[in-house]
């Protein structure tokens, strides 16, 4: 008999087959002064994977923390990436790292990387209007 993680893995793959899109995670060095924009972090690799882009209305799924567990983050956009597709530990990603959606040609900045009890960590995002990359 399979354990529940096997079923979870299968369900995550089914969700990704329908909703996931290409996503790139770009490590970014935070600026050292207020007037700077920072720059790419050469010590960490860019990760290319797939993730589910989520906008408002997704709170009914419970992924946003609305079920009353943990801390709810008031952010209206995030990307959800399955643990086994993240490639690099969630702990290696931090505020100010960049996220790029090539099919949308949109850049975002990570404001909060959040763990998930369901094995789908979320990166809460803010859109960059004029990205420096």
Domain spans, the chain: 4-127
**pTM for the whole thing?**
0.77
Q: Is the dihedral of CA 93, 114, 126, 53 positive or negative?
A: positive
Which pLDDT score is estimated for 60? 47
Q: pLDDT tens track of the chain, all 133 residues?
A: 468 778 888 888 898 999 999 999 999 987 766 666 788 999 999 999 999 999 865 444 445 444 444 444 455 789 999 888 887 888 888 888 999 999 999 999 999 888 877 778 899 999 988 766 5
Say how many C-beta atoms besides its own lie within 10 A of residue 38's C-beta: 16
The domain at 4-127 falls in which architecture? Beta Barrel (2.40)
Contact call for residues 120 and 82 (beta carbons, < 8 A): yes
Tokens of 42: 């050469």
| Rounded (10°) CA dihedral 97, 102, 108, 113 | -50
């Amino acid at each position: 008999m399979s354990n529940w993680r096997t079923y979870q893995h299968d369900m995550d793959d089914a969700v990704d087959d329908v909703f996931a899109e290409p996503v790139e995670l770009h490590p970014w060095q935070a600026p050292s002064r207020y007037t700077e924009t920072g720059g790419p972090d050469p010590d960490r690799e860019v990760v290319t994977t797939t993730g589910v882009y989520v906008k408002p209305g997704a709170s009914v799924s419970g992924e946003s923390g609305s079920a009353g567990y943990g801390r709810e983050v008031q952010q209206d956009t995030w990307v959800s990436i399955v643990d086994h597709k993240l490639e690099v530990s969630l702990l290696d990603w931090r505020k100010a790292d960049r996220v790029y959606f090539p099919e949308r040609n949109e850049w975002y900045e990570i404001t909060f990387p959040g763990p998930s009890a369901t094995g789908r960590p979320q990166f809460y995002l803010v859109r960059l209007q004029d990205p420096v990359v």
